[in-house]
Each structure stands twice: as C-alpha cells, then as structure tokens.
Amino acid sequence: MTRILVVEDEPGIALGLEDDLTMEGYQVEIAADGVTASRRAREGNFDLILLDVMLPGKDGFEVCRELRRGGLRTPILMLTAKTQEAEKVMGLELGADDYVTKPFGTRELRARIRALLRRAAGEPENAPFCFGEVEVDFERGELRRQGRPVDLTPLEFKLLGLFIRSRGRVLSRERLLEGAWGADTFASDRIVDNHIASLRRKIEPDPANPRYLRNLRGLGYRFDG
Ligand code: CA
C-alpha cells in the first residue's frame, strides 16, 4: 500500500486531505507540526510527503532542508500559499520535488501525487500535467479544459511546455523566442506577447487578469501553475 505523510497543522485541511487520499486508496498519516513531521518522515517509510509551509515548531522549509540533508529521498510535494510567490522557488531549491498552491483542487492534487509517485518509481514523466481546470497531455499533444479539448497551435504548445518545465521561474522573451521559435528566429518580442495573449485566452479563467501566465515588467513571463 502506498503510504503518504500529510504534514498540515490546520485540522480542517488535514482531515479533508486524509479523507480524499484514503478514498484514493492511499494509507495516510497526519503530522500537525514540523518536529513530528521530521521525525515521522524518517521513521515511517513513506512513499510521499505532503508538506505544508506554515507550521508550528519548524516550518516546511526547515523540515524539507533537514530531511534532504539527512539523505531522505522520499518525494516531497509542498503546499504553498498563493500570496507567497517566493515560497515555490525556495521549496524547490531546498529539495522539494513539486508544489501545489493553496487553495488547490483535489483533482490537481491527485494528479500531482500520481505524477510524483510515477517519477519515483522510474516511470516516464510524460504524464498529463494539471493546473486549475486545465490538463495538458504532452504524450498526445492535447490540452483539455474542464475535460473539453482546446485547440492549441504547435507554437502555443511549445510555449506552454517551456513554461511548465520552468514553473515558478521567470523566462525572458529572448529565452522564449529561442525555446519555441529556435535560435535563428527573426521573430520579435511583440510576437511572443501576441502568442502569450492567445495562450492566455485558452488557459486563463480571466485572461485580462492572468493567474497562471504572469507578466513581470522588464523581465518576461512566469508560469505559476
Ligand atoms: Ca499551515
């Protein structure tokens, strides 16, 4: 049986996660503070750790750093707060494998968990990637939104792939041009912006106020999925 350690101090969220993951067939244990989490993660022989950042005792970053320093290889999925942009990158730098942003949907969380478990088992990483209402299937070259297929041009698909692989990091227009159009392109920054606007219309709940494909003035774009 696949064992998951859920580290979360808010009882409502922890119980919700326990219910949901138990129904999915996982065996779940809850730790409500950083010190217990750190101990149980080492003793408990878990297949995956869901780790909240804001915790009493030791925060999720400290727990993550400590576990990785101690040589623990168990996949860690961090639960980060939407308002704290820096948390995502920081978690990854400290050795977390992935993150989901609160509030998250159960479908998204389940998909991320399955993807991490597959990766840990050495299976290919081409599994569909989910964010919000969107599911991207790289193997089949398809994107679905609320379960319905959405047409993407090959360039849009390439751009989205670049963003997903660099989640949480800023990509300059130059880098995007090189990655999607190729190093010898004559395309301009304006073309990048146009394609991103079009991509936003297909993936953003409110394209005028993008939540996933963020523009950082003077720097480029960042995907916060
Ligand atoms: Ca918390």
Are 106 and 141 in a shared domain?
no
Ligand 1 midpoint to CA 221 (Å):
29
Ligand 1 midpoint to CA 160 (Å):
31
Ligand 1 midpoint to CA 200 (Å):
31
Q: 61, 89, 120 — which closes off a domain?
A: 120
Q: Which residues contact 148 (CB under 8 A, 6 or more apart)?
A: none
What is the DSSP annotation of 146-207? TTEEE---HHHHHHHHHHHHTTTSEE-HHHHIIIII-TT----HHHHHHHHHHHHHHH-SST
Ligand 1 midpoint to CA 5 (Å):
15
- Burial track 111-144 (b if 16+ CB lie within 10 A, e otherwise): bbbbbbbeeeeeeeeebbbbbbebbbebeeeebe
Ligand 1 midpoint to CA 38 (Å):
15
Are the C-beta atoms of 33 and 9 separated by less than 8 Å? yes
Residue 42 maps to which CATH number? 3.40.50.2300
- Burial track 80-94 (b if 16+ CB lie within 10 A, e otherwise): beeeeeebbbbbbeb
Residue 153 maps to which CATH number? 1.10.10.10
Encode pLDDT of 18-59 as tens digits: 999 999 999 999 999 999 999 999 999 999 999 999 999 899
Average of per-residue pLDDT values in the chain: 90
Most confident of 94-103, 175-184, 215-224: 215-224
Are the C-beta atoms of 77 and 97 separated by less than 8 Å? yes
Ligand 1 midpoint to CA 195 (Å):
38
210 pLDDT above the threshold of 80? yes
pLDDT of residue 123: 66
185: containing domain: 129-223
Ligand 1 midpoint to CA 60 (Å):
9
Tell me the average pLDDT across 204-211.
Answer: 95
CA distance 80 to 63: 14
Ligand 1 midpoint to CA 99 (Å):
14
Long-range contacts from 72-75, C-beta under 8 angstroms, 24+ separation: 72/41, 72/42, 74/41, 74/46, 74/47, 74/48, 74/49, 75/47, 75/48, 75/49, 75/116, 75/117, 75/119, 75/120
Encode pLDDT of 138-153 as tens digits: 878 899 999 899 999 9
Encode pLDDT of 84-141 as tens digits: 667 767 777 788 888 888 888 888 899 899 989 988 887 666 668 889 889 998 878 8
Ligand 1 midpoint to CA 37 (Å):
13
Are 135 and 101 in a shared domain?
no
Q: Report helix, strand or coil for 108.
A: helix
Are 28 and 64 in a shared domain?
yes
Ligand 1 midpoint to CA 40 (Å):
17
Q: 101, 120, 139 — which closes off a domain?
A: 120
pLDDT of residue 128: 81
The packing angle between helices 60-69 and 85-93, to 10°, is 10
Least-confidence region, from 13-17, 59-63, 73-77, 98-102: 98-102
Cβ count near 206 (within 10 Å):
8
Tell me the average pLDDT across 57-73.
Answer: 93
Before 149, cis peptide (omega within 30)? Answer: no
Are 114 and 156 in a shared domain?
no
Ligand 1 midpoint to CA 222 (Å):
25
State the total domains in the chain: 2
Ligand 1 midpoint to CA 11 (Å):
9
Q: What are phi and psi of 129, to 5 degrees?
A: -105, 130
- pTM (predicted TM-score): 0.62
Ligand 1 midpoint to CA 54 (Å):
4
Ligand 1 midpoint to CA 158 (Å):
36
Ligand 1 midpoint to CA 153 (Å):
40
Residues in the chain: 225
